[in-house]
Amino acid sequence: KNLEKGIAGDYLASYGFPANTQLTGTYVRKYDSTLVAPWLWNAQKKVFLSTEDEQSVQRKAQYVVDKGIGGTMIWELAGDYQWNAAKGQYETGNTLTTTMYDAFKSAAPYGAKRSTVTLPTDAVNIDVSFNQFALGDSNYPISPKLKITNRTQATLPGGTEFQFDYSTSAPANAKDQSGFGTSIIRSDHTAANNIGGLKGPYNRVSLKLPAWQTVAPGASVELDFVYYLPTSTPSNWTVTFGGKSYSLAGDLARGTTLVEPGTGTNPTPTPTPTPTGPTPTPTPTPTQP
């Protein structure tokens, strides 16, 4: 802000500049309402400085309120500022933090639901994990192994369908290279760009075990999963087989109950046997001669 106003702050000496330092050129503030971004441009020095100020932060805070998002993350609190009238300069302060606070204090409670659709209340013990991410020059497209492990007492038949969501921060073009027919069945953001923010949170994926593929209790299957930009961990999983859909226990969806497929009952844990040791040999009591 001091550069924008042509002020050489008295703190410059702390950074090794002479006390009589003068600014070269003029730092002109620019603003793009589409990007919601201000910046400074010094034509004489050909210097570009990206900034945040009250106008941009207020717009972003209002976006958070309108979307029911939980809040904002501040990259560098020391970048906040306030005007010191006595010294005639900007200094470290809380102008931008206060701008966000003023927007949030009257906002409705934020949306705390992870899923945008109703998930089944019965959950089954099937694990999913993403492993073996390629490194170096092989790390794009992003292509981990998706491992599905059946920890239920039922065999997953061919055609078993898994669905899950991943964030629209990655494009809606995920696929697999293993014959599981991965496809995007719903995208909440279908615009050609992200101007004005993402229109919705998720891309929903469907993939199915090949007709010949079964997964016995305790067994696993892997597929090559491919996506093209980093995204948060996939969530809101469902699995459908035997004419019924279930949530996955590991997804920790609220309001779900762990059951065995087809029975609707809680799985019975395997009892842990009580350890038994060898029968001790009695020690003879010594006798007096």
Pair (65, 139) in one structural domain: no
Pair (180, 69) in one structural domain: no
| Structural domain includes residue 275 | no
| Structural domain includes residue 276 | no
Pair (99, 127) in one structural domain: no
| Structural domain includes residue 3 | no
CB count in 10 Å sphere of residue 44:
9
Pair (175, 48) in one structural domain: no
Question: How many separate domains does the chain show?
Answer: 2
| Structural domain includes residue 171 | yes
Tens-place pLDDT, residues 209-254:
999 999 999 999 999 999 999 999 899 999 999 999 999 999 999 8
| Structural domain includes residue 115 | no
Domain span including residue 198: 122-258
| Structural domain includes residue 221 | yes
Pair (68, 139) in one structural domain: no
| Structural domain includes residue 271 | no
| Structural domain includes residue 202 | yes
Q: What is the pLDDT along the chain (289 residues), one digit of tens a residue?
A: 999 999 999 999 999 999 889 999 999 999 999 999 999 999 999 999 999 999 999 999 999 999 888 899 998 888 999 999 999 999 999 999 999 999 999 999 887 788 888 999 999 999 999 999 999 988 999 999 999 999 999 999 999 999 999 999 999 999 999 999 999 999 999 998 888 788 889 999 999 999 999 999 999 999 999 999 999 989 999 999 999 999 999 999 989 999 999 876 666 555 556 665 565 555 666 555 5
